Amino acid sequence: MPSKCVLVIDDEESIQKVVRLSLKLEASWQTITASSGQEGICQAEKHQPDAILLDVMMPAIDGIATFESLHENSQTQSIPVILLTAKTGTSEKRLFQKIGVAGVITKPFNPLTLASQVAKLLGWSI
* Site residues (vs other proteins, CB under 8 A): 12-15, 17-18, 21-22, 25-26, 55, 57, 85-87, 89-90, 93, 107-112
Work out how close the CB of 107 gets to other proteins at its nearest, in angstroms, rounded to a whole number: 5
Q: How far is the CB of 110 from other proteins (least distance, A)?
A: 6
In the chain, what is the straight-line distance between the N-terminal and C-terminal CA atoms, in Å?
8
Our CB check for other proteins shows the closer of 108 and 123 to be: 108
Q: Which is nearer to other proteins, 1 or 72 (CB)?
A: 1
Contact 47, 40 (CB under 8 A): no
Cα(38)–Cα(34) distance, rounded to whole angstroms? 9
**What whole-number distance in Å separates Cα of residue 44 and Cα of residue 91?**
28
**Calculated CA dihedral for residues 108, 110, 115, 121, nearest 10 degrees:** -70
Nearer to other proteins, 73 or 97 (CB): 97
CB of 48 to other proteins, least distance (A): 27
Burial of 1 per CB tally in 10 Å (0-12, 13-18, 19+):
exposed
Of 10 and 50, nearer to other proteins (C-beta) is 10
Smallest separation (angstroms) from other proteins to the CB of 66: 16
